[in-house]
């Protein structure tokens, strides 16, 4: 029996939008199983300077419910490489706005652990009015920021 080709991608996936879906669909097209690592709330706060709108477990559940995704897991609070080292993927897909990892740096770090997956960076954003969670939040504030209950 042939070994399954495992693909991993990671991100915050705070407010889901078509860009998330397109990246996940692309990642799934590269292999047999897609595992998505969801950034922890604490990690998002460190990287983006704010907590995500949606709590980590809810984000994990929503991403796992998407058709291309076979499994979604929460990332590590100790070491961002920990889930990747456990999964040992054949391919890692980085989203177009992924800043946590640089392709070369990620390859070098994984090579230290004797892991040599192909690392692919998605180059283009999905063209749509709300292609980022931040844009969605800005629009909500614009529309409802002055509302009183």
Q: Which two tokens stand for residue 22?
A: 């397109």
125 is in an annotated binding site: yes
| Residue 19 counted as an annotated binding residue | yes
User: Residue 41, SS3?
Assistant: helix
Give the phi and the psi of residue 77 in degrees, each rounded to 5.
-85, -15
Residue 79 assigned ligand-binding role: no
**116 a known binding residue?**
no
**20 marked among binding-site residues:** yes
* Separation CA 125–CA 54 (nearest Å): 22
131 is in an annotated binding site: no
Tell me if 21 is assigned to a ligand binding site: no
Which H/E stretch holds residue 36? strand 33-38
Is 96 annotated in a binding site? The answer is no
Please enumerate, by residue number, every residue annotated as part of a binding site. 12-13, 17-20, 97, 125
Annotated binding-site positions for ATP:
12-13, 17-20, 97, 125
């Amino acid at each position: 029996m042939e070994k399954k080709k495992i693909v991993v991608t990671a991100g915050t996936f705070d407010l889901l939008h078509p860009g998330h879906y397109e990246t996940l669909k692309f990642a799934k097209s590269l292999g047999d199983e897609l595992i998505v690592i969801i950034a922890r709330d604490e990690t998002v706060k460190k990287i983006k300077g704010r907590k995500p709108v949606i709590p980590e477990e809810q984000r994990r559940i929503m991403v796992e419910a998407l058709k291309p995704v076979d499994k979604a897991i929460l990332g590590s609070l100790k070491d961002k490489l920990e889930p990747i080292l456990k999964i040992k993927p054949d391919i890692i897909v980085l989203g177009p706005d992924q800043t946590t990892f640089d392709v070369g740096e990620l390859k070098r770090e994984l090579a230290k652990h004797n892991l040599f997956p192909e690392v692919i960076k998605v180059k283009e954003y999905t063209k749509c009015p709300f292609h980022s969670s931040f844009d969605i939040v800005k629009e909500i504030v614009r529309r409802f920021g002055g509302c009183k209950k």
